[in-house]
């Protein structure tokens, strides 16, 4: 399939073409990278936009169950839902999010849903880049809502928040002092905190935890992009499918307010600028990954290690070498 | 003064020339950078080596008092001592380490001592780079011991450890549960934990805290670069100048063992390689700092923000632009 055909099929919402295109953006082969960039450029003029929802939750909070229940509720409304994941640990752990697909049985069989596991890259930067290109592909394929989930390892919440319109934090009911376990920085990113498992024995604890987080949210500095009452904490039960409609209503309220007050567009523009900066840094540093650059670096590094050349002088010499190669190319 | 003369004077141990050379390496002007690299290259063949001691301690542990007492003890032994600082916050806070110089009155008047405040840069990377070049200059100037101190903001301990032969962690007496306040990663970097203020009322608490840390250190995995009994926790009193000789004796024991077992040289080689990598990355990214690059980036960023160009395509176009400039240069 050539790029024109692939682009055409994606625009028609062909899921197989979408999967294939995502595989293309995930590839690190240089010719694939060039094709992926070309493909994204062809899809761009169509300006299709989805609601990008970032979702973070540590293992055990019931994230898969939530995504399944929430996703099925949305598809029942006639919305097309894509689920992507940012999980830098998946390469090592053997793919924790891959497992999620089998745990989202109902959603994965839904014709209006598309689930894609995290690319198996060990660098968060690589995962982030591929995921946001996958987001762009899903938008072009006509999806209405894109859920980008992460288990919250290291910096992954920040990365997900940087590619989302809304950021949800999914939590489990907890003892009072466990509130400390959620880092302030993560709290500050959240638009909506959802305390899951508000069912059965855990319901009272969930309500208490929710009140604690609501109190903690009120102590945070007010953000310009929030209407009165946001960020907000709510209880949900993914298992019993309770609170999901209410959560969705709050999300829509927030989206409408932000669109009306131009924060939506401003946020997307700022995010695009951020990604551009990241792409540029990445592309510059990629110059070091060629066989020639590696050989030159190893040779200079040996001289630095033995003490006959300073790190700064060695760097200067390497850059001169790279520039010479560029000129010859 | 030309570079030859500056190099000559530094090799003679001229402190004014040393101060001037450090100012040169701290400059971000491009011609100064080239001169600084050239100067370091001229000094390198003399292969003078000092003992580089990294020292971390949060505000209030008595770091300045310790450095003053420890430094004066070393100069009394006929050793030449340089004190440098890594403090990325100094630019904002108005220079917390600059204040230290006045708090080290005795040492700053000592003819065998040289104290240099942290360069006023807000980026840790910039401070790190200048500090290790200052270390190289102090070595060339014939200093025997270089103390590199940090207040331990963010990643600064790691940065200091990466340019040190030994790493000391200075702590204050604490209640048992405060032990948690020292991050495991910092503990794992320490060769020697010194619990300060083992005097007067605080002496029992200091002894108890020291025992707690000794216990915690025994739980860490054994590192190949340590002889039996290291890393070690000891009490000191900087105010009463107690325990300093003992601490110095332990440091020397460790240094001798590491030199005899080749860990010293191996560590220095690995550090040099690490710095080289950092320099290369820094130099590559510096290509973005030129006026032309900034102008091109701003123009592309505007198109990315408005959605008419993808981040990846914009990055590709910028790189092509930079390469063209390189070729024309």
CATH of the domain at A228: 3.40.50.300
B288:A308 CB<8 A: no
Q: What is the pLDDT of residue A309?
A: 87
Q: What is the pLDDT of residue A110?
A: 93
Average pLDDT over residues A11-21: 95
Closest CA to B165 of B185, B148, B178, B151: B148
Q: Is A3 on the interface with B (CB under 8 A)?
A: no
Measure in Å the smallest separation between the Cα of A268 and chain B Cα atoms. Answer: 7
Choosing from A243, A260, A277, the residue where a domain stops is A260
Residue A312's H or E segment, with its range, is helix A311-328
In a domain, B275, yes or no: no
ipTM greater than 0.90: no
**Same domain? B9 vs B126:** no
**Same domain? A226 vs A132:** yes
Q: What is the pLDDT of residue A176?
A: 56
**Residues from chain A contacting residue B285 (CB–CB below 8 Å):** 281, 284-285
Q: What is the pLDDT of residue A89?
A: 64
**Same domain? A40 vs A74:** no
Size of interface A-B (CB pairs under 8 A): 132
**Residues from chain A contacting residue B297 (CB–CB below 8 Å):** 276, 280
Q: What is the pLDDT of residue A117?
A: 83
Q: Is B294 on the interface with A (CB under 8 A)?
A: no
**Same domain? A19 vs A101:** no
Q: What is the pLDDT of residue B110?
A: 93
Residues with Cβ < 8 Å from B44, sequence gap 6 or more?
A307, A308, A309, A310, B136
Residue A313 sits in which domain range? Answer: 290-328
Q: What is the pLDDT of residue A128?
A: 85
Q: What is the pLDDT of residue B176?
A: 56
Backbone phi and psi for residue B122, each to the nearest 5 degrees, phi listed first: -90, -15
Measure in Å the smallest separation between the Cα of B44 and chain A Cα atoms. Answer: 7
Distance CA B96, CA B112 (A): 24
**Same domain? A73 vs A116:** yes
**Same domain? B128 vs B165:** yes
Q: What is the pLDDT of residue B179?
A: 59
- pLDDT-wise least confident of A41-45, A236-240, B20-24: A41-45
- Nearest C-alpha in A relative to B325: A327
**Same domain? B107 vs B169:** yes
Which of B25, B33, B280 best probes binding to A when mutated, by most A CB atoms within 10 angstroms?
B280
CB distance A18 to A114 below 8 Å: yes
User: In the block, which residue shows the tokens 């123009």?
Assistant: B299
Can you say how many angstroms the Cα of residue B125 is from the centroid of all Cα atoms in its chain?
Answer: 11
Question: What tokens appear for A92 in the block?
Answer: 């090592």
**Residues from chain B contacting residue A276 (CB–CB below 8 Å):** 297, 300-301, 304, 311, 314-315
- Nearest C-alpha in A relative to B293: A280
In a domain, A56, yes or no: yes
In a domain, B202, yes or no: yes
What's the pLDDT band for A93 if we cut at 50, 70, 90?
A: very low
In a domain, A278, yes or no: no
**Same domain? B34 vs B61:** no
Distance CA A326, CA A7 (A): 32
Q: What is the pLDDT of residue B95?
A: 41
Give the three-state DSSP class for B290: coil
Q: Is B217 on the interface with A (CB under 8 A)?
A: no
Measure in Å the smallest separation between the Cα of B197 and chain A Cα atoms. Answer: 31
B310:A269 CB<8 A: no
Q: What is the pLDDT of residue A73?
A: 98
CATH number of the domain that B14 lies in?
Answer: 1.20.5.170
Question: What tokens appear for B105 in the block?
Answer: 């009155």
In a domain, B72, yes or no: yes
**Residues from chain B contacting residue A312 (CB–CB below 8 Å):** 36-37, 40, 133, 279
A276:B315 CB<8 A: yes
Domain total of chain A: 3
**Same domain? A36 vs A68:** no
**Residues from chain B contacting residue A37 (CB–CB below 8 Å):** 310, 312-313, 316
Residues with Cβ < 8 Å from A104, sequence gap 6 or more?
A64, A67, A68, A71, A83, A115
Which residues 60-119 of B are in CB contact (within 8 Å) with A?
none
Give the three-state DSSP class for B33: helix
Which residues 260-279 of A are in CB contact (within 8 Å) with B?
268-270, 272-273, 275-279
Q: Is A44 on the interface with B (CB under 8 A)?
A: yes
In a domain, B120, yes or no: yes
Question: What tokens appear for A14 in the block?
Answer: 């062909």
**Residues from chain B contacting residue A314 (CB–CB below 8 Å):** 276, 279-280
Q: DSSP code of B118? A: P
Q: DSSP code of B329? A: -
CB distance B246 to B192 below 8 Å: no
Distance CA B81, CA B135 (A): 11
Distance CA A36, CA A38 (A): 5
pTM: 0.72
> Percent of chain A beyond pLDDT 70?
90
- pLDDT-wise least confident of A26-30, A123-127, B70-74, B128-132: A123-127
Which of A24, A183, A315, A326 best probes binding to B when mutated, by most B CB atoms within 10 angstroms?
A315
Q: What is the pLDDT of residue A307?
A: 81
Question: What tokens appear for A313 in the block?
Answer: 């002088």
What's the pLDDT band for A94 if we cut at 50, 70, 90?
A: very low
Q: What is the pLDDT of residue B248?
A: 98
**Same domain? A158 vs A79:** yes
Residue A51's H or E segment, with its range, is strand A51-56
Measure in Å the smallest separation between the Cα of B248 and chain A Cα atoms. Answer: 27
**Residues from chain A contacting residue B41 (CB–CB below 8 Å):** 309-310, 313
CB distance A141 to A11 below 8 Å: yes
Distance CA A22, CA A146 (A): 14
In a domain, A275, yes or no: no
**Residues from chain B contacting residue A309 (CB–CB below 8 Å):** 41, 44
**Same domain? A318 vs A210:** no
B40:A312 CB<8 A: yes
In a domain, A267, yes or no: no
Give the three-state DSSP class for B105: helix
* pLDDT exceeds cutoff 60 at A80: yes
CB distance B85 to B67 below 8 Å: no
**Residues from chain A contacting residue B275 (CB–CB below 8 Å):** 304, 311
Going across the sheet that includes A113-115, the strands are A113-115, A81-86, A145-150, A51-56, A166-171, A192-195, A232-235
Which residues 21-40 of B are in CB contact (within 8 Å) with A?
36-37, 40
B44:A309 CB<8 A: yes
- pLDDT-wise least confident of A79-83, A167-171, B64-68, B290-294: B290-294
Question: What tokens appear for B38 in the block?
Answer: 């050239």
**Same domain? A108 vs A250:** yes
Q: What is the pLDDT of residue A96?
A: 47
Residue B39's H or E segment, with its range, is helix B30-43
**Which residue ranges in chain B fall short of pLDDT 70?**
88-102, 120-122, 152-154, 175-181, 326-329
Peptide bond into B101 cis (omega under 30): no
B44:A307 CB<8 A: yes
Residues with Cβ < 8 Å from A31, sequence gap 6 or more?
none
Q: What is the pLDDT of residue A181?
A: 63
């Amino acid at each position: 399939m050539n790029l024109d055909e692939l682009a055409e099929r994606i625009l028609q919402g062909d899921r197989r073409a979408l999967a294939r295109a995502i595989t293309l953006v995930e590839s690190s082969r240089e010719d694939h990278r060039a094709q992926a960039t070309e493909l994204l450029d062809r899809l761009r003029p169509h300006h299709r936009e989805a609601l990008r929802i970032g979702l973070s939750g540590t293992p055990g909070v019931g994230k898969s169950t939530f995504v399944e229940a929430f996703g099925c509720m949305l598809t029942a409304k006639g919305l097309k839902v894509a689920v992507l994941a940012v999980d830098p640990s998946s390469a090592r752990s053997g793919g924790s999010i891959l497992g999620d697909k089998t745990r989202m049985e109902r959603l994965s069989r839904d014709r209006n849903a598309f689930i894609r596991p995290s690319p198996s890259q060990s660098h968060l930067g690589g995962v982030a880049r591929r995921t946001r290109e996958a987001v762009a592909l899903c938008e072009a394929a006509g999806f209405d809502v894109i859920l980008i989930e992460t288990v919250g390892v290291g910096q992954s919440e920040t990365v997900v928040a940087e590619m989302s319109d809304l950021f949800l934090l999914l939590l489990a009911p907890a003892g009072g002092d466990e509130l400390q376990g959620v880092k302030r920085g993560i709290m500050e990113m959240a638009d909506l905190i959802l305390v899951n498992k508000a069912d059965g024995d855990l319901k009272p604890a969930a309500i208490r935890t929710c009140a604690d987080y609501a109190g903690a949210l009120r102590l945070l500095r007010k953000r310009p992009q929030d209407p009165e009452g946001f960020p907000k904490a709510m209880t949900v039960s993914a298992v019993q499918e309770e609170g999901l409609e209410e959560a969705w209503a709050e999300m829509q309220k927030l989206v409408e307010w932000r669109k009306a007050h131009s924060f939506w567009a401003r946020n997307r523009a700022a995010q695009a600028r951020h990604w551009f900066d990241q792409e540029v840094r990445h592309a510059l540093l990629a110059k070091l990954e060629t066989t020639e650059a590696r050989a030159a670096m190893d040779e200079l590094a040996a001289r630095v290690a033995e003490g006959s050349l300073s790190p700064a002088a060695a760097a200067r010499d390497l850059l001169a070498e790279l520039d010479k190669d560029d000129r010859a190319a």
